[in-house]
Chain A
Amino acid sequence: MRQVSTGKGRAAGQIVLVLAAIAAVPLLWRPVFATWAPDAARATPSYVPALEPARAREPFDPVPIEELRAVQPGIVVIGDSMAGRIHKRRLEELAGTAVAPILRNATGSAHWFLIFKNYVIASGIRPRAVIVFFRETNLTDPMFRLGDPYRVNADFLAHDFEPELNAAVASRTQGAWFRVHSLVERVYQAEQARRWLEPELAAWPAHVVAGDGSDALVDTLNTSFALDRLRPAVAADMASVAGQPLDFQRDVNRSVLPAFLALAREHDIKLIFVRVLRRPENGRAPAETPALQQYIRELDAYLKANGAIFRDDRYYPGMAALPYDDGDHISRVAMVPYTELFFEQMAAHLR
């Protein structure tokens, strides 16, 4: 009997030892990173410390500031590829002023806020209106496309520290799980290892297959998977929020939207937020959940109460009849008609 309990105790002790040993093995990476990982030398304090303490980042790109100053646009358009539905030249003809689109693919509200703050406001220009195009819940989701692989897009827009963005992110990352995640990250430095090893893992097969032409191969591959090559339904689903729990009141104060609006008020700039119509189905706006409808109603009320203008393409005539190419992108031939309809319906704000 004693032998049995001794055996049990031994096995239980082994469980603890096994767990401890398994947890310890990845620590062996740390000295390896410290010696060889290239990111370790380049890392500087993060501009969003709520996400990570340090980051090997790309430098801030100041070129758009100079361009805005040179053009002195009356209208600035901000957004991702959704904002590409505006035909710049046609809008300039209609509005009688220069239009400056600052479009960055694969971005979200965090990036758009940084564009507004660090480019538009920093340039000192006084546009008639700044138009921001978005989908569904983008405006209250600062984390959208703020993680890898899109994170690098924010590097070009951010200064050394971005307090408003950091506050919004921090409000999202104060939960117990995020603290566990951060602790694991601090202990194992796994993200640093990923940034070091992942490109190697992706590059090696390309090198095996194409030798010196591996860069060209990767470029061709990326082109093959571009949005205009996707099946229509797949591209449209990429931005779907179906099934997500939606709570505008909870999320708005954990986003950059209040800072966005405050900055616009402070500098007396008219902000127009445009919710684009997602890919129509049989010539009609796609169905949406009651939760999303409620969310949009609350967003509308909030924007208006804070001095901004809200436009929901879903409810404007002619929008669902426009041809779409892939995903939620309208076709090239529809850009001029869209811009004309948009201007006609929003003329009061754009003249």
Chain B
Amino acid sequence: MIFHSLDFVAFFLITCSVYWMLPHRAQNVFLIAAGCFFYGYVHPWFLLPLIFSATIDYVSAIQMERRPARKRAFLLLSLISNLGLLGFFKYFNFFVDNVAAAASALALDFSRPALQIILPIGISFYTFQALSYTIDVYRGKILARRSYLTLATFVTFFPPLVAGPIERASHLMPQIETRRRFDAVLARDAIFLILWGYFKKLVIADNVGVIVNKVFSIREPGFEMLWAGVFAFAIQIYADFSAYSDIARGVARWFGFELIRNFDHPYLARGPADFWHRWHISLSSWFRDYVYIPLGGSRTGPARRAFNLILTFLLSGLWHGASWNYVLWGLYHGVLVALSRAIDPITPRTPSKFHVAIAPLQILGTFLLVTFGWLLFRETNSAYLWQYLTLSPFDSTSAERQMGAYLFVLAAIYAVPLVLHMWWDAWLLPRWDAGREALRPKSTRRLAFETLTGGVLFALLLVFRSRTSMDFIYFQF
């Protein structure tokens, strides 16, 4: 089931109403049933790998505690099962295609197995979420849960199930195990979060997505059109993905849960490393904790640290999709972050007036570097990618320049609400709240302002929602 459907609206209203009439344990059972319905709505068989993953992790974690001597073996069981599942569904065809290509290059006879595999949506998200549980149990950070109900609720909890945030067991499980109370203030704030999420998805991402799809569907876009399309994609992917996270967080609040904040104005980042502290935070922190740090992290020498970073980003790129362009995108970001880390020690710790003054340039520079990376991310065809990378602005006609400028301005118009939101959330709000009591209820004036803004968003959503409904981009991962 997708968030931007009337089916989901009905599903949400019914489940939320029933949920708050139930006692705690029944709430968890109900959440599992709701999660299974939500996830298996179109393809019920999608539930099989989900249940398999939950069951293996449940058994593995308990056995790790019961048989400490074989702890490592059970961790391996969990890793192999979850990653095997992911590998089969997501990377089997990629692997076979590459073996076939290599065999062909070596003039070897290779009959390609004909296997049509449908990728269960969100499999990368829930396998990583489930893995965080067994790894944390292995490390002794959390206790294995004896209740299958708790683990099943953790894995099937529907708001983040399909596109994150990738929750940690240490964060979500205590919330599952604790008696929850309906918090009307949180629920009220969640309305704005959900509305903002829908606005970002249906108005910004889907409209800008039309520009992106057009540019990336033609054989020979000129230099300007291509980069206007890439700029539009930078807006689309942020609006689209952060929309899902916002809706998921808002919906979860209505069920009494607080999810991880997945985005923190990534396009305000002042460097590549800063970008990854703000973009898809739940995934980048997952890779930091479960890949980068176990590899040695920053406690090693500069060369080894750079290697660790690049390897981590390569794997992160591969996580996104079974295609070389994602690997290339991961490599690109790995190199960027490694370089920025190498430069980092020579920059002064205390921000000087100079550093404050150059902040806009740093933000712009980071945005341009990240946007270049989005070309690698968006273009899955290597022949086209190479063609695009060799495009020159000097070969463009004036008509091509005008078309590029037009698409750029059109995409920029749709980005205006994002910029206003950044200004509001990252600059104005902290100043507004400064010096006030953190827990003080919102003033009536501010509530009225937010409500009016919500109403305007709703009006704009009715009028400017895209005629082309698109799936959330991260569903494919």
Contact = CB atoms under 8 A, between A and B. Distances in A.
Given A217-B406, A224-B403, A197 B218 contact: no
Interface string B372-409: 00000000000010000000000000010011011001
Nearest to B215: A225
Contact of A217 (B403, B451, B462): B403
A22 interface: yes
B184 interface: yes
A209 B225 CA distance: 14
Interface centre among B187, B188, B452, B463 (most CB of A within 10 A): B463
B454 interface: yes
Given A11-B184, A25-B459, A209-B409, A220 B403 contact: yes
Interface residues of B, number: 36
Contacts of B403: 217, 220-221, 224
B187 A15 contact: yes
B217 interface: yes
B219 A230 contact: yes
A25 B448 CA distance: 12
Contact of B455 (A26, A147, A224, A231): A26
B464 A21 contact: no
Interface in A158-204: 177, 180-181, 184, 188, 190, 193-194, 197-198, 201-202, 204
B440 interface: no
Interface string B438-477: 0000000001000110111011001110010000000000
A224 B218 contact: yes
Contacts of B451: 17-18, 21-22
B184 A14 contact: yes
Contacts of A194: 463-464
Contacts of A17: 451
Given A209-B405, A230-B218, A23 B188 contact: no
Interface residues of A, number: 48
A266 interface: no
Nearest to A149: B467
Contacts of B218: 224-225, 229-231
A230 B464 contact: no
Contact of B188 (A14, A25, A28, A193): A14
A148 interface: yes
A346 interface: no
A221 B406 contact: yes
B406 A197 contact: no
Contacts of B459: 25-26, 28-29, 188
B6 interface: yes
A190 B447 contact: no
A17 B448 CA distance: 10
B195 A22 contact: yes
A24 interface: yes
A234 B212 CA distance: 13
B359 interface: no
A190 B410 contact: no
B455 A8 contact: no
Interface string B408-420: 0110010000000
A198 B462 CA distance: 12
B220 interface: yes
Nearest to A197: B463
Contacts of A181: 6
Interface string B195-228: 1000000000000000000100111110001000
A5 to B, nearest CB: 11
B191 interface: yes
A206 interface: yes
A208 interface: yes
Listed residue (B7, B214, B220, B451) with the most chain A CB atoms within 10 angstroms of its CB: B451
A24 to B, nearest CB: 7
B360 to A, nearest CB: 24
Nearest to B467: A148
Nearest to B214: A225
Nearest to A213: B402
A88 B220 CA distance: 32
A19 interface: yes
Nearest to B399: A220
B22 to A, nearest CB: 19
Nearest to A23: B458
B458 A25 contact: yes
A202 B410 contact: yes
Contacts of A210: 402, 406
23 contacts: A8-B184, A11-B187, A12-B184, A15-B191, A18-B191, A18-B451, A19-B191, A21-B454, A22-B454, A23-B455, A25-B454, A26-B458, A147-B467, A181-B6, A193-B462, A194-B464, A197-B463, A202-B410, A206-B406, A217-B402, A217-B406, A224-B221, A229-B220
Given A29-B463, A194-B463, 10 more contacts: A15-B187, A17-B451, A21-B454, A23-B458, A25-B458, A147-B467, A177-B6, A202-B410, A229-B220, A234-B217
Closest 8 CB pairs of A and B: A25-B455, A11-B184, A26-B459, A205-B409, A190-B462, A234-B217, A22-B454, A193-B463
Interface of A: 8, 11-12, 14-15, 17-19, 21-26, 28-29, 147-149, 177, 180-181, 184, 188, 190, 193-194, 197-198, 201-202, 204-206, 208-210, 213, 217, 220-221, 224-225, 229-231, 234-235
